[in-house]
Amino acid sequence: MVVPKDIRPIIGTAERIISLGTKDPAEALRKAPAALEQIAREFAAARAALAPEQRLSQREVVALCGALYRETVAQWEDDPGTAEAWDLFAGQLQDARAWDNAMPGGGPSAPDLEDAEDLARRHGFTPDADSVKRIAVALYATRMKAADTLRRRAEGDYSPDTHAPTFPPIVSGEATAGKSPVPTTQPEALKGDTLLALWAAEARPAPATLKKYGATFRNLARILGFDDVRRISPGDVVRFKEARLSEGRSTGTVADDILNAGAVCNWAVENLKITSNPFSRKAPKVSRKGPAPREPYSDDEAQRILTAARQETGALRWLPWLLCFTGARLGEIVEARRCDVRQDSGVTILDIRPTEARAGKNETMQRMIPLHSALIAEGFLRYVAALPGNPAGPLFPSIVARKDGTRTTNAQVMHGRWMREVVGIKDPKKAPAHSWRHRMEDALRIARVSQEAQDAITGRHNPRNAGAGYGKGFRGMPDEVLKDLERVPSPVPPEVSGGATE
């Protein structure tokens, strides 16, 4: 990154370079956010060393809060999730504030003060201690306003934002201090992967999200014929949308593309990287009506699949059984290691947790799934015991790993082909792996399993109220979850021989 002229005497160079230690573009994209964040911290520290502290006016404090408010709403309002989740967020804010005020000395916590100072410095201010405290106090109300707006968006209310007009526009700290603003000149071209790395350094998205957004920007460059976000016009976005639809992509996929790029560009506008968001209001409307695109396996289909699996070995022998009795996602299982099958709380579990190969759809994927007695009776533990002794070795070495070390893609191809060609399940509404998750959800409903226990098994996020964030929950109680899981019956009777071992 180019070092601004005013801090070059402190940084000691005109350009700050950090090697990412790789020539692989995907790996570089993954590592870049941390490097960019490190450089940003160095620049902020250098500027703080040069600039005298200043007292911010009330207007400046509220304007800074407005910047955070707009940034938060822009990030979430296109796809805000559930109203209950934002009610939970607001409840947690209230609890945290009550706790902070009850502590000796009262007032904002150290993390809140750090957030306040960081917000001010990002916009060119060097606040004194009193200003930092006032910003931190004001941010509580700001976050509550953002939660209120996003709760209404989650309920389908997209009427004009009543909170945004209450914040005055922000003026850079350098300008208010009578100085020349720090140069913000950018390179002539702002490539998609560069902008994405800058956004990711602050947004900290899940690896799967970053990968998905990266694909969106690569498709933009491919279709538009240039890779410069500053050159993209609303007309270009329409051209991109029409081209993606003509390629046979679904309306939902194209809408995701435009919403993905739009979310990043909203951040870019707020952070002065681009002047406007060309993707705004350009996503095609997606119908949410009609039946689910995937259906659960019937009892007859489940029997056929599990019986056919008994004639197989390796991954094809055990993937259908694990999918049936865990409700897990295919990638969560095939990227598992030998050591992920272990004991906890007196029961045998499949420990679903993030690894380099299995990043997880979101943080709620981490859970301990107890093994159903039908799996144990079938001989799954004998299969695990017969694997090579390396605890970190793959649970399914028969699945060939790709160059990046992952097995999910190859497993999807192998398992899907077997399901269609060998078992004969060809209904397009039956997804080879995912229909097991639909079946498990129904089985848990029929067994009257509590919602929290269901989520602990399937790895979903359904916050009920503020109390949902207390305690370790069923995700950390596999012995209790097993009591509920055992209420799900097996679609096939056990083999007399006790099951295969391979």
Mean pLDDT calculated for residue range 349-359:
70
Place of tokens 């700290």: 173
Residue 497 has a pLDDT of 55
Among 106-120, 368-382, 410-424, where is mean pLDDT lowest? 106-120
The answer on pLDDT for 172 being more than 60 is no
Mean pLDDT calculated for residue range 391-411:
89
Interatomic CA distance for residues 459 and 128, integer angstroms: 45
The answer on pLDDT for 106 being more than 70 is no
Mean pLDDT calculated for residue range 87-108:
78
Residue 462 has a pLDDT of 64
Other beta carbons less than 10 A from residue 461's beta carbon: 14
Helix (H, G, I), strand (E, B) or coil at 15: strand
- More confident: 99 or 316: 316
Stated as kind and residue range, the H or E segment containing 244 is helix 234-246
Residue 394 DSSP code: B
The answer on pLDDT for 61 being more than 50 is yes
- The β-bridge relationship of strands 367-370 and 347-352 is antiparallel
% of the chain residues with pLDDT over 70:
86
Mean pLDDT calculated for residue range 305-312:
95
Place of tokens 């956004």: 199
Residue 37: band (very low, low, confident or very high) from pLDDT cuts 50, 70, 90: confident
Find out whether 308 and 423 touch, Cβ atoms under 8 Å: yes
Residue 356 DSSP code: S
CA 484 to chain centre: 29
Residue 304 has a pLDDT of 95
CA 208 to chain centre: 6
Computed from CA positions of residues 432, 438, 441, 444, in that sequence, does the dihedral angle turn out positive or negative?
negative
- The β-bridge relationship of strands 347-352 and 341-344 is antiparallel
The answer on pLDDT for 99 being more than 90 is no
Residue 182: band (very low, low, confident or very high) from pLDDT cuts 50, 70, 90: very low
Mean pLDDT calculated for residue range 434-440:
92
Helix (H, G, I), strand (E, B) or coil at 361: coil
Among 26-40, 81-95, 401-415, 434-448, where is mean pLDDT lowest? 26-40
Domains of the chain, by residue range, sit at: 51-170, 192-270, 299-485
Stated as kind and residue range, the H or E segment containing 138 is helix 129-154
Other beta carbons less than 10 A from residue 217's beta carbon: 22
Residue 470 has a pLDDT of 61
Q: pTM, whole model, 2 decimals? A: 0.50
Residue 405 has a pLDDT of 83
Helix (H, G, I), strand (E, B) or coil at 183: coil
pLDDT digits (tens, 9 = 90+) for 209-256: 888 899 999 999 999 888 889 889 888 899 899 888 888 888 888 999
- More confident: 500 or 111: 111
Among 106-110, 235-239, 295-299, 362-366, where is mean pLDDT lowest? 362-366
Stated as kind and residue range, the H or E segment containing 342 is strand 341-344
- More confident: 225 or 30: 225
Q: Which residues pair with 342 in a beta bridge?
A: 349
Residue 102 has a pLDDT of 66
Find out whether 304 and 425 touch, Cβ atoms under 8 Å: yes
Place of tokens 């405290």: 133
Of 249-263, 299-313, 423-437, 488-502, highest mean pLDDT:
299-313
Residue 424: band (very low, low, confident or very high) from pLDDT cuts 50, 70, 90: very high
Find out whether 376 and 323 touch, Cβ atoms under 8 Å: no
% of the chain residues with pLDDT over 90:
32
The answer on pLDDT for 494 being more than 90 is no
- More confident: 427 or 45: 427
Characterize 407-439 residue by residue with b for buried, 16 or more Cβ atoms within 10 angstroms of its Cβ, and e for exposed. bbeebeebbeebbeeebebeeeebbbbbbbbbb
Residue 120: band (very low, low, confident or very high) from pLDDT cuts 50, 70, 90: confident
Mean pLDDT calculated for residue range 87-110:
78
CATH number listed for the domain at residues 299-485 = 1.10.443.10
Mean pLDDT calculated for residue range 279-285:
87
Both tokens of 329, joined, read 């996602």
Mean pLDDT calculated for residue range 55-82:
89
pLDDT digits (tens, 9 = 90+) for 459-484: 876 655 555 556 667 877 888 889 98
Residue 499 has a pLDDT of 45
Other beta carbons less than 10 A from residue 101's beta carbon: 11
Residue 179: band (very low, low, confident or very high) from pLDDT cuts 50, 70, 90: very low
